[in-house]
Amino acid sequence: MKLNTLLLTASLGLATAPGAWAAMVLADNLGKSPAGYDPLTGPVWASGRFNTDAQAYSLSSVVLWATSVSSGSATAELYSDNGGTMPNAPLGSLTLSGSFPPSEGNATFTASGITLNPSSAYWIVVKGTGSGVNWYWTADNTGTGAGFDTHYAISADAGSTWGDTAPIEPMLMQVNVDLAPVPEPGQWAMMAVTALGIAGYAARRIRAKTNVG
């Protein structure tokens, strides 16, 4: 029992060493020039799609290029995908960090405890509150990151139906995630050496006890 505990503690100590969790940008087109915006207030919602690759991730934040309208604000949620063309159902809420800028700029939403499955499509759905916000889109269909996608969708009835769905003119946003990578070869080697050392120590203890008496 003690040996198993020592081995488990050593392995976890190496696997969770500082830097084991890696932050990365999964999808990004914030640097593109805005070509227009969708005014979001009342029942008018807008959404942008992104994807995951073969890895599982933890969603950490989403940054929008947007502006407040007369001190308006918005909420954001992660939605599942419905056939690759529109949002399906909410999976989790994001928290606005600070407020929307009074003129064009970044609005950041943070996330906690939201897991993104491998090889899946997701949507960020933004809903204006009060006098709402303007979320900008671009005519440039290029972006960076393994999960970048050009699809967007608009709803004029609070998500009951989605229209203007297209794989062009994507919404301006950045999706940031955390990834727990497989330990590097050096870490595996350290874990093996630690395990051998503990096993040798345990064997010596057993022999010492056997020879007593």
In angstroms, the CA 72 to CA 130 distance is 5
Closest by CA to 94, choosing from 33, 156, 38, 47, is: 47
In angstroms, the CA 171 to CA 115 distance is 22
Confidence of residue 23 (pLDDT cuts 50, 70, 90): very high
**What pTM was estimated for this model as a whole?**
0.78
Q: Count CA atoms closer than 13 A to 201's CA, side-chain side.
A: 11
What pairs with residue 123 in β-bridges?
49, 79
Domains of the chain, by residue range, sit at 2-14+183-211, 21-179
**Mean pLDDT across 3-12:** 42
Confidence of residue 197 (pLDDT cuts 50, 70, 90): low
In angstroms, the CA 104 to CA 108 distance is 13
**Mean pLDDT across 30-37:** 98
Q: What is the pLDDT of residue 186?
A: 55
Amino acid code (one letter) for 149: D
In angstroms, the CA 141 to CA 35 distance is 12
Tell me the CATH architecture of domain 21-179. Answer: Sandwich (2.60)
Report pLDDT digits (tens) over 152-195: 999 999 999 999 888 999 999 999 999 865 555 554 455 455 54
Contact between 127 and 74 (Cβ < 8 Å): yes
In angstroms, the CA 175 to CA 109 distance is 10
**Mean pLDDT across 67-81:** 97
